[in-house]
Amino acid sequence: MTAARPDLASYSDKKVVIGLRPEHLPAPRDGWTGPTLVGDVDLVEALGSELVVHFTIDARRVTAEGVTSADAEAVTEAGEGVARVEPQAAVKPGERFTFAVNPGGIQFFDPSSGEAIWGA
């Protein structure tokens, strides 16, 4: 990660906040050996070409600077997440589901300032 984001090196042994967009949390494919995230599925929206999965995890939600009140109302609970998975995924409300994490999609933020941690 630090090769793509050299500024992360200055956060060694410090806390950072991470963010993931829904498209960076697909259902893991057979043989997936990368990082995963397990969540409790609350709602599954079937949209034809994809499933939008709303889930909760045991983590505190952090609100980014510049979030509108409409955005805040849409995500009011701590630990809520949204993933986009293929329509064949065996995901059901009320069950735990393991999502693959696309490491290239992870965004890093300074917890004090809320600013993104970028490259050079």
Residues 35 and 25: their CA atoms lie apart, in Å, by 10
Compute the chain's Rg from CA coordinates.
Answer: 15
Give the containing element (helix H, strand E) for 23. none
Give the homologous superfamily in CATH for domain 19-109.
Nucleic acid-binding proteins (2.40.50.140)
Kindly report the backbone phi and psi dihedral angles of residue 36, in degrees, each rounded to the nearest multiple of 5, phi listed first. Answer: -135, 165
CB atoms closer than 10 angstroms to residue 24:
19
pLDDT (tens digit, 9 = 90+) per residue, 14-33? 888 888 899 999 999 888 99
Of 18, 24, 26, the closest CA to residue 98 belongs to 26
- pTM (predicted TM-score): 0.74
Q: List the pLDDT tens digit at each of the 120 positions of the chain.
A: 556 677 888 888 888 888 889 999 999 988 899 999 999 999 999 998 999 999 998 876 555 555 555 444 444 445 788 999 999 999 999 999 999 999 888 888 888 888 888 764
